[in-house]
Structure 1
């Protein structure tokens, strides 16, 4: 904006005309004002003229672009004189006009002239009538505003639209501003928004989905599809949907085919601020155009929006059941306690942290109105899902029986409620008639002087209060009777819901809000034990509280089922513990082969296990002396378990040995021709020998402290030697028989075995001789024993030959 230097101030000429007075562009009236003010300025010698114009702006407020620019120049000190045609052109708000003309302009040294009103601030004596002119100008604006509002309201009461806006999803026919027709492309978006809302999505989530799919926002859509309307467009991204936009679409009842007029009310013609109209102020005209959304979809969407978990100031959300759960005893809403509200355990969260308890319950006994009724949120959701599944399974298979049950129950409730309410209504009517007679008698007695004024007033107030209370109660009962007659179970809609969610396996938000009207929780019984039970009444939409017929379960059967479940849980827990323990021991055993520290830990574990076994055996011994039969049973059980363990270990060793032999045989075969394989075989044999030595040392150490184990090992070795000898003998006899029959391969194998045994005996004798040569008493004794056996064998053979 160009600025005039402070040394050469401007003469500001201000022109204004309201939108209601003239047409769109700069009007002739504005032109006339400019010519008139320029002529006045030249005639009176004002220089450096500059125009400030507001064409189409009301004078009741000063939020006008031309006036704002003028005000900036005045505050900057660039204006010496302000000239306007009359005071009404400057403004029609007498308070603000007075502020500018009486305070701001004099403070900035600006001369103010209103030509037609003969007002000039340079001549104060001519300005005495200015405040009255301002008041009259404002009154004119106020009166005009009132008349225009009356005209608009009259048109709206006749069902005629006064606004140029059209709900998104509709358009208007050319030449007909009143009739709305469906815009198919936009209507499809509206229907999608309502479908997503019925699926449980909130406005923000729906807006994100539309933005992601690049759907034009309503303003951008109107600009693209209806450019002839020349609407003002203010958006940076034509595809960015906001939650507020989606929310306004979900609130728009025009999509049901109705016309709603007078949605906002302007209470002050100066501020132009509008407030939402109350229900009594709205003008409703049903079925005026084609609907985009049916009533059922609308009701479902609104119900889901109301029940959607609210966002709290802490950043967390309420539970999706909040507002649906009530105390069955006192009727209070049950409060939700969230894990976020419990920080005493740090990050550890328990299932019971998400729970509901009665709103009338307090930890302070003095303020306690009800008991806790504590129930976990997960238990409530499980109960709701189970109830829906049970009702669905029964109703879909027995639809006719269900409808008959609902009708019979409704008729019974109707008869009971109607009889009670009508009886009370009749009693109230009779009492009101009696009070009328009593009041009439009081009045006559007072007028005749039989009843003093003081007693008359006291009795009259008493009867009047009673009569007012009775009339209020009668109104309530009449409303209740009317509502009860209308609240008939809608079984068809409920069965439609069941068909929609026929195969439900989890409780979704949409499913929850579609089915559930409210939940009533009763006080639990059984204390804080596994036998605790709590009654939960679930009220379904369209039918109320309903549970399908089921077989009754006795208290003994219920307790037996609980104990069976507890036993199953305990066994499962024990199995999980044993599995984890075995995995830890297996990992420790594998680590012990390479890690000395792990080896020490594993050895310590084995030691503790042996000690525990010894203690158990000592305990069994003490019990054996006290109860032989019990000990016999325990020993039998231990024997069977030991046999199972030995058999399992034997099979494992056989599998490992078989696999190792297969690998070893391949290595032995390759070692005959491959030096590298021969080296690997030597290393393998060294490791095996080392492991055998380690096992032998550990075995001998345990045998030294555990006689029972030592005897078990000796018996096992003897059994192994017996089986091994018998197997080798059977193999040798088979080879000899085959060799005698002329089998060359068997004869070769027999000869190879004989040569191997001879070499083995030589190596054994040499090893025994070398060990005895060291002077070891045990080795010397073994060698002497061997020689003695050789001599005895020689003598025996010699005697056989002689005989």
Structure 2
């Protein structure tokens, strides 16, 4: 297509907000305005592209998209809009089209009212600011609308037209929800099925089979004024999402819940589910369809339901109740069928779902289904009998256990939280020091990147852990046992002889399975923690007879196990000694293989002895009394060494003072020895400083420690010298001749030291030392500034 025949695109846009500003921005007026401009300026082949009712922040507009298609095809030569705000209110996207896409496609862009014409680039300097202001207008409008909606919601008023399934609104009262009995009965049925252990998918299939109208179809048929969704494939096909949404809604408890979704950015239409602290909840605002007990039970049962898999294996009634004590995952149900057709008790069992997992492996935590069912039945039976026998004692015991557990959990979590926050602060300081060393050239880039990656990873993990601990601490402080509900539950199922599935769901919250000890032997033991609904992991107090019987049984089992181990060990030792004697005899006879094997046996024995000695030392160190004794012994040794060093230092000082005195008297031998000692001290100091410098370059923590130590030393040294100087000045001002003489000598010394330090700094800067160079330039700048200030004062 020839360039002269390309389209002149006149683009018009109108949003709902623009309609409030009057007729001047209407689509008709925009078309007439742009046509007149095009004709007056000689543009031909005019074609309109109009978007009516679309926001400027949304670039997914039908006419706009068609215009872009025409531009991509090369059929558009000029795009004309009334002003920049008609084109869009997102300055980044507007800038992309006008500054990048249109010039690339050789398209001229004109915004009439703003005086923007891409044919005259020099006149378009202010265009980016126009785009920013247009976006600000859209952002400000969005804020105001959200503020209006928030204010209404804070007053408990609904701003959405959606009505929960099971309710309807009267035309004269749009704020109050009224129960629709026909649909409310379906809601009650959904919650009851969830309480019975059915998952959302199974509930949806049940409702579909019973030909129950889905919520949108029911609203369209019975309450068309509240119907917002009319597009659905089948009015009787329920899905798990709809069922889950109904089970989540707290409106069925009689509460009004507002602000459930929010949009973080006005530029996008994407919404997110609001956090719990962002919700506005108003309690008991309308008639409830279900009560709190059923709602809570439904939520508990939903957590237990395992996701449906493409498998024909039947689920066990304990599925979803058993959890691994180590990794926290659910235990998976195993229902093996041997090829011989025989049925064994061990065929049905549970084990950790992460057992032999490729990415998050865990041990088996294997337990037979019959065993865990028996344990749950016995625990439930014993607790029920205890409650019925003495309810008052049960309440006291439960409260005591609960308070003790809460205190323990809270103390552990708070301690870990405090340590995590302290470590976060340390990491912040380390990263600052690391960055300073890198910018000053003290740390190579490779080490800087490696350390920064390590610190950043540790900080990310700490941030996540701190959030978890804060949530756990808050949950512990707000959690409470519900004793009355559990007592009512026990009285409801008094004198039961078997644990039915409804009873199991009512009584048991979860069961935590620990890894078994003792292997596959008759000494196998396994800890099982049973958590009851409303009261948690309640441990029954044992009577004196029960404690005595339990201790007696444990002692018997321990003695039995020890006896078996002694017999096994004795048998193994005899067999090992016999084999060793045979190898020794062959080695003494000159067999080279036997000699090598016997030598290896002796070396292994020596290694075992060393390991045993090390283990015994560790065991002794784990004994508090032994450790305290060793620490006291070490402390006394350190004190003796410190006193010895002090005596040696004192002798050296005395000897050095005498040497200085001899040197001052002119003793050449003393002068030579004194100079040698000073040279040795300087060399030792230089080596020590070099070691500190190398270590600081590779260890940011040590570098930070050195910096803090030097800062503190300089602070104390300066304060001490200042105090001495002030005392000397005071004495000199009082007329003390000796003090005046010392003050004059100090001033001369300071002048010499300043000149010496300045010359050293200058020489180091000229030799290429970056730190000295920075200091030198700073000193020169200060001197120049002082010089000009002095000249200004003299001139004035």
Q: Does 1:199 align with 2:184?
A: no
**3-state DSSP class of the match of 2:509?**
strand
Q: SS at 1:12's partner residue?
A: strand
SS in 2 for 1:20: helix
**CA-to-aligned-CA distance 1:420-476 (integer Å, 9 cap, x gap):** 9999999xxxxxxxxxxxxxxxxxxxxxxxxxxxxxxxxxxxxxxxxxxxxxx9999
What is the aligned counterpart of 1:540 among 522, 532, 539? Answer: 532
SS at match of 2:276: coil
Match in the other structure for 1:108? 105
Shift of the alpha carbon at 1:512? 3.3
Cα distance between partner residues in 1 of 2:294 and 2:346:
36
In structure 1, the residue matched to 2:754 is: none
Q: Is 1:376–2:368 an aligned residue pair?
A: yes
Pick one of 245, 261, 265 that aligns with 1:268: 265
1:587 counterpart residue number: none
Preserved contact between residue 350 and residue 369 of structure 2 (Cα < 8 Å): yes
Q: 2:293 aligns with which of 287, 292, 296?
A: 296
Counterpart-to-counterpart distance in 1, 2:103 and 2:164 = 50
Tell me the equivalent position of 1:618: none
Name the CA shift for 1:111/1:317 in 2 (closer, same or farther; >3 Å): farther
Question: What is the deviation of 1:360?
Answer: 12
Q: State the match for 1:498 in structure 2.
A: 493
Question: How many angstroms apart in 1 are the aligned matches of 2:190 and 2:525?
Answer: 43
Deviation digits for residues 571-618 of structure 1 (CA, Å, limit 9, x no counterpart): xxxxxxxxxxxxxxxxxxxxxxxxxxxxxxxxxxxxxxxxxxxxxxxx
For residue 407 of structure 1, what is the aligned residue in structure 2?
A: 392
Q: Residue 669 of structure 2 aligns with which residue?
A: none
Matches within 5 A, 1:503-542: 508=501, 511-519=503-511, 528=520, 538-542=530-534
Change (3 A) 1:5 1:242: farther
- Native 8 Å contact 1:265 1:277 kept in 2: yes
Of 10, 14, 30, the residue aligned with 1:33 is 30
Q: Assess if the C-alpha contact under 8 Å between 2:511 and 2:528 holds in 1.
A: yes
Partners of 2:195 and 2:14 lie apart in 1 by: 50
Distance 1:319 1:309, change over 3 A: farther
The separation in 2 between residues aligned to 1:315 and 1:27, in whole angstroms, is 68
Partner SS state of residue 26, structure 2: helix
Contact 1:352 1:376 in 2 (8 A): yes
> 1:491 Cα deviation (Å)?
4.0
CA–CA distance in 2 between the matches of 1:385 and 1:187?
Answer: 36
Question: For 2:211 and 2:227, how far apart are their aligned partners in 1?
Answer: 23
Mapping of residues 169-208 of structure 1, within 5 Å: 169-208=166-205
Distance 1:110 1:296 in 2: 67
1:347 and 1:11 map into 2 onto residues whose CA distance is 83
1:424 and 1:41 map into 2 onto residues whose CA distance is 77
Task: Write out per-residue CA displacement over residues 297-337 of structure 1, whole angstroms, 9 at most, x where no aligned residue.
Answer: 1011100111112457999999764664467xx77747635
Q: Distance in 2 between matches of 1:536 and 1:270?
A: 54
Counterpart check, 1:246 vs 2:243:
yes
Match of 2:8 in 1: 11
Of 134, 142, 147 in structure 2, the residue corresponding to residue 145 of structure 1 is 142
Q: Distance in 2 between matches of 1:276 and 1:475?
A: 19
Once superposed, what is the RMSD of the aligned Cα atoms?
A: 5.0
Matches within 5 A, 1:450-489: 486-489=481-484
Cα 1:359/1:307, change in 2 over 3 Å: closer
Q: Give the number of equivalent residue pairs.
A: 489
Match of 2:306 among 309, 323, 331: 309
Distance 1:32 1:225, change over 3 A: farther
1:546 offset after TM fit, Å? Answer: 7.9
Shift in Å, 1:146: 1.9
Aligned to 1:655: none
CA distance in 2, matches of 1:24, 1:77: 36
User: How far apart are 1:89 and its partner, in Å?
Assistant: 0.6
Q: Deviation of residue 83 (structure 1)?
A: 1.6
Aligned to 1:54: 51
Is 2:255 aligned against 1:258? yes
With normalisation by structure 2, the TM-score equals 0.52
Q: 1:118 to 1:303 in 2, by over 3 A?
A: same
CA distance in 2, matches of 1:45, 1:425: 80
Deviates more, 1:261-270 or 1:373-382: 373-382
Distance 1:316 1:132 in 2: 66
- Please, which runs of 5 or more residues in structure 1 have no aligned partner? 427-472, 559-803
The answer to whether the 8 A contact 1:538-1:546 is kept is: no
1:126 is paired with a residue of what secondary structure? helix
Q: Name the CA distance, whole Å, in 2 between partners of 1:525 and 1:425.
A: 30
Secondary structure of the 1:179 match is strand
Q: Trace 1:389-428 onto structure 2 (pairs within 5 A).
A: 390=381, 402-414=387-399
Equivalent residues of 1:217, 1:240 under 8 A apart: yes
The question of 1:216 aligning with 2:213 is answered yes
Secondary structure in 1 matching 2:16: coil
Deviations, residues 634-678 of structure 1 (Å, cap 9, x unaligned) = xxxxxxxxxxxxxxxxxxxxxxxxxxxxxxxxxxxxxxxxxxxxx
Structure 1 residue 88, shift from structure 2 partner: 0.2
Tell which structure's C-alpha radius of gyration is larger.
1
Q: 1:76 to 1:183 in 2, by over 3 A?
A: farther
- State the Cα distance separating 1:207 from its structure 2 match: 1.3
Q: CA deviation at 1:137?
A: 0.7
CA distance in 1, matches of 2:29, 2:337: 75
Aligned match of 2:274: 277
Distance 2:103 2:269 in 1: 29
CA distance in 2, matches of 1:416, 1:193: 37
Instruction: Tell me the distance in 1 between the aligned counterparts of 2:270 and 2:377.
Output: 49
Aligned ranges 1:604-683 → 2 under 5 Å: none
Query: 2:617 aligns to what?
Result: none
CA displacement 1:249-279 (0-9 Å, x = unmatched): 1111111111111212211111232222111
- Structure 2: distance between partners of 1:270 and 1:58: 10
- Name the CA distance, whole Å, in 2 between partners of 1:271 and 1:178: 29
What's 1:590 paired with? Answer: none
- 1:239/1:145 CA distance change after superposition, 3 Å: same
Quote the Cα distance in structure 2 between the aligned partners of 1:372 and 1:424. 27
TM-score (norm 1): 0.52
Q: Which residue of 1 aligns with 2:574?
A: none
**Per-residue Cα deviation, 1:100-133 (whole angstroms, up to 9, x for no partner):** 1122222223222211111122333332221111
